[in-house]
Structure 1
Amino acid sequence: MSSATYKTFAIAGLGLVGRPILDALLARNASVVVLTRSPKEDTLPTGGKFATIDFNDVSGIAKVLEEHHVDVLISTVGSEALGQQQMNLADASKQAGVKLFVPSEFGVPTVGRKDGIFGYKTNLIEHLRKIGVPSFCVFNGCFTEGILDLVGYESNKEFNVIGEGTAPISFTAVSDVAGYVAHVLTTQPPKKLENGVVRLEGDRASLADIAAFFKIDVNHVSKITGTMGPTYTFLQHLLDTGAGSAGWDPLSDSEGPEKAGSGNALWEGHQWKRIVDVVKV
């Protein structure tokens, strides 16, 4: 890694994308500390380390960040922590002199949106700008691995689609998102990333296109059932408007000037996974 790049990282959240980002950073010999309420040392890969924090204690978090000389804080916290707790991570980053904050985005574009959990994300970016902590946002559309869950495939072996299902959606594999984050944070000069937004796309298709490719019937429904049904119902309604494209501009409700996949270029030569590479039915 060049001396002009970031050296030390903290990750808050080890879920769907947090753990792969940790693995990808460690594979690049980066120094990484995982911020957690309750460390489980046996789950940590070689080279990583845990630091116990209270997500409601800004000064305590800042002390940990200072002790580990953290350059970049990567937040991959879940929806329950997108409000005050992620704000606390931002304020602690300011106190500790963190150079870059990567917020918990990793989904459809949220720039300027104020509805639901998207409002938390917009408020965080506005707060980071106000306190002078540079941010770096990654929009990748939907995770390719979640396609079958999104359409409730396991319930009836059909693509259960709300609306027409013809709107184009950006799909990016989790491993590609994680590898990309690790790559750009350890190879790109800070000035190229500060207050930046990248739009990734591994593949592009509508739900109807995917069903046709796999020769699965489309079952038009009013809602998705199951434990996560309300979440997938909300998401499908959103995707049906076109907002599933990583190039979507929520403020104009249309494709913006920054196209889906425009951010891929920062990982030169990488072969992005297609839907057929990931989804097996």
Structure 2
Amino acid sequence: MLKQLSAHPAFRTAAVLGAVAVVGLLLGVGLEEVRYGGARSELERAEAAADELDQEAAAQSGPTRSKRDEAILARTLSYFPPYPNGGRPEALAADYLGADTPIAVAWFSTQDSSDQVLQHYRKFLLDEGLPVVGVRFNDNAGYVGYWVSKDDEVRLMSTLHQGGETLVFVSSARMRNYLERAGRVPSGIPVPRGLQDVASLSLRMEGATNITVSGRVPGTTLPEAEQAYLAQLRDQGWSVTEARQEGFQETQLSLTRTGLRGEATLRQPAAQQSVDFHLSLMRAQAAP
């Protein structure tokens, strides 16, 4: 049953979309810097057809937003209530996976923990009777949201706690077209042998490519999967630093090689004979 759920389009889409929202800031590169070969996005076409920003907005107190930013906020924030202890929401990016994959991401920050934010929105969704999807990657990151089957759209709240605050990414996306090509691991990316239910994402940025891969290794335990993956990495010339999480069935690895750096997480869910895997990797444009 769990295997069937993990392969469901809602869970696969959520895994990829959660990675899109969290990984950009995790590696210190803003998603707004993504470039996609000059193809005009849905948002760009809407901007081209819109009039210039109303001049009255400039006279209002406080910072103003462009029509582009207002459109992104409308496509994300309208599905969730404001967070009680959150800061001012801001637009982050839209439609950066191509014209056939509508997506929008906004963000805000809070002093509350990642878990506090996730639990708040999980309760809201359950109270509304919505079909909740979610993952807690570790103490500092995770996502919660729901899938709208008639629109083929996933709407998420993704969290990343760093530097004493939690960044919350609000996103909505219709990613069926992307998922049809997202089940393949890019060449040269180190993933455990036997990885299944793969969801991958490559974002071309200024001077680098950000690659994420998620999946699971069936029929194994965390110590077995960790030992095999470490041996594989070292055989392939990677330098590895381990960091076990006390009290959790989880290991985090920092990976470096010439022109590449990243973070991998291996986690064994309770009472399951499988290991969840998540890799975030930054590759310089000149790297092999």
Scaled by the length of structure 1, what TM-score is found?
0.29
Scaled by the length of structure 2, what TM-score is found?
0.28
Q: Which protein has the bigger helix share?
A: 1
Q: Which protein has the bigger strand share?
A: 2
